[in-house]
Structure 1
């Protein structure tokens, strides 16, 4: 098996305890900046279902936070982290699922360390791109050159290929998913691609045409099904179970997809 065809826990266990606190600080600072920019653009309200998850911890060091938001244009936004940085593991999320009023791809980003630094950044599709070539031509083909450039110009990174076929199926053709030593080069690269992609995504939203009213309910249902499946089928959930136990992990996963949300979805407002 090649080096990069492994689950997250395999990388972590094979490396042994490695302090990645510096990487965690870099990732949380970046995600906090991006989240602040999103909050400046959209009306967002913290969903009470995630209040109890503002801060959670296990007795032996692991801790985390999950904050869920919604608003007139945003179905579900997650700003979260889970970490045991002293032992080599970090996971930081900013995922933004739009309401059905537009058909712009969702914004998906996760930053990690196990103990190598790791990036996932994607425009989460809202249709089958082999059929919906209009969306492909508008949102994905223009990014292909940048995807190629990032791979070609940064020889210190290597693709991260999940062993999970479901995870691989969930990625768009322009998803950035790679790992590298957690040093300044990686921080600079990740900061650049993430900030530019968020700015581009915000422009997509501002320029998007409105989805016809009669199509919005179906789009909203599809969005929630995809979000739930991604959260529940994530093979990295095993890390939550390792740190916090199965019952707590179920609560965390449910929060990530909005299963206990209290505030209405955009279509219900």
Structure 2
């Protein structure tokens, strides 16, 4: 299988500038479908700290974006967001759900990009050391290993994306999906089908999970927050926010992604 090692901004700068609004809107529809499944399962309230980012920038004339952050009795922090300039080849979309400490199910991470090729990421973000806790791996990761291998074998038009940032590579589980692909509709359909299946798996795990003992929950919540903040702070794609909106604004956007200014309390 092919592999790309380019930075996001490198891929963008070395490609022709084109209007990718149509692809951006298709990817928005996919994320909206997935969010609807999650909304139907959980009690969620939008955190007021994200309301100032309901619409920022100058989209559709130029760069813009939106951040919606939610929390609830079972959800520590859910982010549904996008940032970019679709008329000039780039858009970055996220749907990430961080569970509360009442269950020890992996978190759900999804990202979609146009740069101007398509790109997607999906992972069940580990909240434990999988090598240490083999039973956790066996329950949540081993059953999906065959699907992961099958996708790699059956989709030759998809190019494996290897991040040049070692920290990001370290954050991925063994079953993470991280591919670029031509923007043809059949490829978007393949990504959509995969993401729906993975969200269904994740919702089932949550429903079947055993409660975490109350004494163990504070430590798990602290670990979750550290992981979430580190991933947001160290995301190489933050450079695109700086390019469009400057350092100060990008810092505020990144804080919104990990909940640095949240108003509503974390679940206990």
TM-score with structure 2 length normalisation? Answer: 0.97
Which stretch of structure 1 is more off in the superposition, 184-193 or 46-55?
Answer: 184-193
- Tell me the distance in 2 between the aligned counterparts of 1:135 and 1:54: 37
Indicate if the aligned counterparts of 1:111 and 1:119 stay in contact, CA closer than 8 A.
yes
- Tell me the distance in 2 between the aligned counterparts of 1:208 and 1:249: 37
Q: 1:9–1:112: structure 2 CA closer, same or farther, 3 Å change rule? A: same
- Tell me the distance in 2 between the aligned counterparts of 1:55 and 1:113: 20
Q: Which residue of 2 aligns with 1:183?
A: 184
Q: Which residue of 1 aligns with 2:216?
A: 215
Q: Which residue of 1 aligns with 2:207?
A: 206
Q: Which residue of 1 aligns with 2:13?
A: 13
Offset of 1:186 from its aligned partner? 1.4
Offset of 1:33 from its aligned partner? 1.1
Q: Which residue of 2 aligns with 1:118?
A: 119
- Tell me the distance in 1 between the aligned counterparts of 2:116 and 2:3: 14
Q: Which residue of 2 aligns with 1:241?
A: 242
Indicate if the aligned counterparts of 1:100 and 1:220 stay in contact, CA closer than 8 A.
yes
Q: Which residue of 1 aligns with 2:262?
A: 261
Offset of 1:22 from its aligned partner? 1.5
Report the secondary structure of 1:15's partner residue: coil
Offset of 1:3 from its aligned partner? 6.6
Offset of 1:183 from its aligned partner? 1.1
CA-atom RMSD in angstroms: 1.1
Runs of 4+ that moved beyond 6 A: none
- Tell me the distance in 1 between the aligned counterparts of 2:203 and 2:142: 18
Offset of 1:16 from its aligned partner? 2.7
Please give the per-residue CA displacement for 1:101-159, whole angstroms capped at 9, x wherever unaligned.
00000000000010110000000001010101011000111111000100100111010
- Tell me the distance in 2 between the aligned counterparts of 1:98 and 1:226: 12
- Tell me the distance in 1 between the aligned counterparts of 2:126 and 2:86: 32
Indicate if the aligned counterparts of 2:3 and 2:162 stay in contact, CA closer than 8 A.
no
Count of residue correspondences: 266
Report the secondary structure of 1:217's partner residue: helix
Q: Which residue of 2 aligns with 1:83?
A: 84
Report the secondary structure of 2:198's partner residue: helix
Indicate if the aligned counterparts of 1:58 and 1:244 stay in contact, CA closer than 8 A.
no
Indicate if the aligned counterparts of 2:229 and 2:258 stay in contact, CA closer than 8 A.
yes
Uncovered stretches (5+) of structure 1, i.e. residues with no partner = none
- Tell me the distance in 1 between the aligned counterparts of 2:114 and 2:170: 23
- Tell me the distance in 2 between the aligned counterparts of 1:86 and 1:183: 18
- Tell me the distance in 1 between the aligned counterparts of 2:65 and 2:79: 13
Q: Which residue of 1 aligns with 2:142?
A: 141
Indicate if the aligned counterparts of 1:50 and 1:66 stay in contact, CA closer than 8 A.
yes
